[in-house]
Chains A and B, each alone.
Chain A
Amino acid sequence: MASGKRVIEGDRTGTLVHLPRQAEGPLDDPRRSDVDEWGRSERVRKLARRLYGPIYRRWFRAEWEGLEKMPATGGALLVANHAAAIPSDAPVIMHGVEEELGRPVYGLADHLFKSLPVIGTLWSRAGGVAAHPENAYRLLREQEQLVLVFPEGDKGPGKTYGERYRLNRFGRGGFVEIAMRAGVPIVPIAVVGAEESMPVLFRVNWLARATGLPYFPITPNALMFGPLLGLVMYFPAKFKLQVLDPVQFDVPPGQERYSKSRIMDESEAIRVRLQEALFEMLRTRNSIWFG
């Protein structure tokens, strides 16, 4: 064969050969916003913290007890009693722990938020995460974060003023199972003050059915400030929060299922402790507004 001529291999022509790209190193990720995988945006959260700070300090004058019991590292599941027609306790706990401990809290909330335009997006950017066992597990086990849930669910804020500070059933104990599976402690928090910040006088069931809401409350806030302003105008009840001793479970994490009776027992034990702590705090409270 004559040299210098181009040699073309017989059976490998015409194939599309991919040019090698940069092989090593992290992938090129041309992100432009700071929205993370949970939908949180640090910019929005910073703004929210700045706006909420004065409400936390001046309006609710939140006071903590036992913050040293909160784990400084590793995942933990925070559980608290839930109250007020539009719950005021979740932002107080989240803001409080972030301010006092410098650890972010991922509040797991009802999916309902996510289905509302604008509100759902803002809620998610500010740090709300949809309550789903997968989300809780990932946050607690893999990312070792603090996660806040309200085991009473919407029965907590839906209770009327006459039932205040009496805990409802703690669901089916799902929060205990999640903590067991993730291998993290449960930290109960007793909250006093939320009940009086936006009490429910009575519920209108037919309106709840018509609007698809879990309950439709009539609040003194709405009667005093009107239906719109009444949604955000809380009464300046004094907030007191008490962190109870964390509960550790000596079960192997990562299992598909745990003993149902053990779960229900643990769940009930936490509920009773939280209830007793609430009554104890109420015994020593002199004034709704000044603590």
Chain B
Amino acid sequence: MGRRVLVTGLGTFWGGRVAQAIERDPDVDAIVGVDRFEPTVPLERTEFVRADQSYSILARIVQATEVDTILHTFLVVDSTRMSARTMHEINVIGTMNLLAAASAPETSVRHIVVKSSSLVYGASFQDPAWFREETPRTKPPSTLVERSLLEVEEYLRDFAEDNPHVTVTLLRFANVLGTDIRTPISKALELPAAPHILGFDPLVQFVEEDDVIRCIEFALGHELPGIYNVAGDGRLPWSEVAAICGKRRWPLSPVFTGYAAAPLGRLGLVDLPPELLDLFRYGRGIDNRRLKRAGFEYRFTSAGAVESFANAMRLRRTVGDDQPSYRYERDVEAFFKHSPAVVRSE
């Protein structure tokens, strides 16, 4: 019997992409996706269930569908997208309900993959150049998103301890850049001049969005208990990131940086939340070697991810927001799939 997979956050960028990717996997029998909103990407055989943001009905879904794997992609790491309260509700309460559903007696769940973020390491001047999975953060968390992610990871640790028959894979992703994803960093790089904090040129690290999806697929296909950092090789200074994108830089004051950055948000240019300002000041590096030892191969380095984003940005600037390549057209594909006029091999 094949795998039966539940994907959380199907309506979000990652949930949709992950579902699309695992639809290709012939070993996966059933894919169920839950979210508050309809998926935004076309999906072939994934079934969508509408749930509230804290997933209170999840236990029943898990029980009814007998899924063996949960891909928890729905952790909010971009705090500019919603209020602190909603974020807490989604991250902490949502995960709590998810784990409660997965630890119900006689549950069918054997495998949980969680998409967390390197935000749990923070960014401070006392940091090491590279964080290993075990390295503790050097400063207590000060931002809401970091606190909520740390709380989530704590729940997961307890869950993994209490349920040794379930493989829990916790993936901590570095900042993502790529062809399609929009984050505060990508928005900052799309401005005519990229903001930076005067006098600081931090070393940053990225992972390309394709590598994110491939990594989640990899975690689905392998037994990977524990925590894994996911990031492209190498770190590069923010000035170089701007240079690869062909941008000048726009200085923000090194003191009262929050106040200096606030007008950018007001004007609707780019929201720079406090955790991102910390990153722009001190940078962050996470050691990706454990995942490599497990057999995962990256397709992009950190600088490669920046270039992939820069190329997509140049293309967008020329041809507009429409996706230029052939992606997926529901009607056409439905025609191929269902029309009696199409000759199919049996």
**Interface residue ranges, A against B (CB under 8 Å):** 1-2, 5-10, 13-18, 21, 27-33, 35, 37-39, 111-112, 114-121, 129-130, 132-135, 138
Determine how close the nearest CB of chain B comes to the CB of A60; give it in whole angstroms.
29
Determine the distance from Cα of A250 to Cα of B244 in the docked complex, in whole angstroms: 49
Determine the distance from Cα of A13 to Cα of B237 in the docked complex, in whole angstroms: 43
20 A-B pairs, CB-CB below 8 angstroms? A7-B345, A10-B337, A13-B333, A14-B333, A15-B44, A18-B210, A29-B303, A30-B303, A31-B234, A31-B240, A32-B244, A33-B243, A35-B236, A115-B282, A117-B198, A130-B127, A132-B127, A133-B128, A134-B128, A138-B129
Determine the distance from Cα of A119 to Cα of B125 in the docked complex, in whole angstroms: 13
| Residues 263-320 of B contacting A (Cβ, < 8 Å) | 282, 285, 298-301, 303-304, 306-307
Determine the distance from Cα of A27 to Cα of B207 in the docked complex, in whole angstroms: 13
The verdict on B177 contacting chain A, using a C-beta distance below 8 Å, is: no
Contact call B129/A121, Cβ cutoff below 8 A: no
Look across to chain B and name the residue whose beta carbon is closest to the beta carbon of A132. Answer: B128
Contact call B298/A1, Cβ cutoff below 8 A: no
Determine how close the nearest CB of chain B comes to the CB of A144; give it in whole angstroms.
16
Choose among B138, B199, B210, B336 the residue that contacts A8 (Cβ–Cβ < 8 A).
Answer: B336
Given A39-B237, A116-B199, 20 more contacts at CB 8 Å? Answer: A7-B344, A10-B345, A13-B333, A13-B337, A14-B44, A21-B299, A28-B301, A31-B236, A33-B236, A37-B234, A39-B129, A112-B125, A120-B200, A121-B200, A129-B129, A130-B125, A132-B138, A134-B130, A135-B128, A135-B129
Contact call A37/B129, Cβ cutoff below 8 A: yes
Look across to chain B and name the residue whose beta carbon is closest to the beta carbon of A11. Answer: B337
9 closest A-B pairs by CB: A117-B199, A134-B128, A14-B333, A132-B128, A114-B125, A118-B199, A115-B125, A117-B254, A111-B126
Contact call B44/A30, Cβ cutoff below 8 A: no
The verdict on B183 contacting chain A, using a C-beta distance below 8 Å, is: no
Choose among A2, A10, A129, A135 the residue that contacts B344 (Cβ–Cβ < 8 A).
Answer: A10
Contacts A30-B244, A35-B236 hold; do A16 and B20 have CB atoms under 8 A apart? yes
The verdict on B147 contacting chain A, using a C-beta distance below 8 Å, is: no
The verdict on B235 contacting chain A, using a C-beta distance below 8 Å, is: yes
Determine the distance from Cα of A17 to Cα of B44 in the docked complex, in whole angstroms: 14
Complex interface: chain B residues within 8 A of A33 (CB): 236-237, 239-240, 243
The verdict on B135 contacting chain A, using a C-beta distance below 8 Å, is: yes
Contact call B304/A1, Cβ cutoff below 8 A: no
Determine the distance from Cα of A35 to Cα of B135 in the docked complex, in whole angstroms: 24
Contact call A130/B303, Cβ cutoff below 8 A: no
Choose among B125, B138, B203, B233 the residue that contacts A120 (Cβ–Cβ < 8 A).
Answer: B125
The verdict on B256 contacting chain A, using a C-beta distance below 8 Å, is: no
The verdict on B249 contacting chain A, using a C-beta distance below 8 Å, is: no
Contact call B237/A35, Cβ cutoff below 8 A: yes
Determine how close the nearest CB of chain B comes to the CB of A189; give it in whole angstroms.
24
Complex interface: chain B residues within 8 A of A10 (CB): 337, 344-346
Determine how close the nearest CB of chain B comes to the CB of A5; give it in whole angstroms.
5
Look across to chain B and name the residue whose beta carbon is closest to the beta carbon of A6. Answer: B343
The verdict on B24 contacting chain A, using a C-beta distance below 8 Å, is: yes
The verdict on B327 contacting chain A, using a C-beta distance below 8 Å, is: yes
The verdict on B342 contacting chain A, using a C-beta distance below 8 Å, is: yes
Determine how close the nearest CB of chain A comes to the CB of B181; give it in whole angstroms.
16
Determine the distance from Cα of A135 to Cα of B132 in the docked complex, in whole angstroms: 11
Look across to chain A and name the residue whose beta carbon is closest to the beta carbon of B254. Answer: A117
Contacts A8-B343, A16-B327 hold; do A114 and B282 have CB atoms under 8 A apart? yes
Complex interface: chain A residues within 8 A of B327 (CB): 16
Contact call B234/A35, Cβ cutoff below 8 A: no
Determine the distance from Cα of A6 to Cα of B345 in the docked complex, in whole angstroms: 10
Contact call B201/A121, Cβ cutoff below 8 A: yes
The verdict on B197 contacting chain A, using a C-beta distance below 8 Å, is: yes
The verdict on B328 contacting chain A, using a C-beta distance below 8 Å, is: yes
Contact call A37/B285, Cβ cutoff below 8 A: yes
Kindly name the residue among A15, A30, A116 whose own CB sees the greatest number of chain B CB atoms within 10 A.
A30
Look across to chain B and name the residue whose beta carbon is closest to the beta carbon of A134. Answer: B128
Look across to chain B and name the residue whose beta carbon is closest to the beta carbon of A139. Answer: B129
The verdict on B23 contacting chain A, using a C-beta distance below 8 Å, is: yes
Complex interface: chain B residues within 8 A of A13 (CB): 333, 336-337
Choose among A8, A17, A31 the residue that contacts B303 (Cβ–Cβ < 8 A).
Answer: A31
Determine the distance from Cα of A10 to Cα of B343 in the docked complex, in whole angstroms: 9
Determine how close the nearest CB of chain A comes to the CB of B300; give it in whole angstroms.
7
Contact call B344/A8, Cβ cutoff below 8 A: yes
Complex interface: chain B residues within 8 A of A1 (CB): 343, 345
Complex interface: chain B residues within 8 A of A29 (CB): 233-234, 301, 303-304
Determine how close the nearest CB of chain A comes to the CB of B134; give it in whole angstroms.
10
Complex interface: chain A residues within 8 A of B201 (CB): 121
Contact call B244/A8, Cβ cutoff below 8 A: no
Complex interface: chain A residues within 8 A of B203 (CB): 35, 37, 39
Contacts A16-B328, A35-B203, A134-B128 hold; do A30 and B307 have CB atoms under 8 A apart? yes
Determine the distance from Cα of A31 to Cα of B307 in the docked complex, in whole angstroms: 10
| Residues 326-346 of B contacting A (Cβ, < 8 Å) | 327-328, 333, 336-337, 342-346
Determine the distance from Cα of A102 to Cα of B306 in the docked complex, in whole angstroms: 35
Kindly name the residue among B199, B285, B298 whose own CB sees the greatest number of chain A CB atoms within 10 A.
B199
Contact call B240/A14, Cβ cutoff below 8 A: no
Determine the distance from Cα of A6 to Cα of B236 in the docked complex, in whole angstroms: 49
Complex interface: chain B residues within 8 A of A37 (CB): 129-130, 203, 234-235, 285
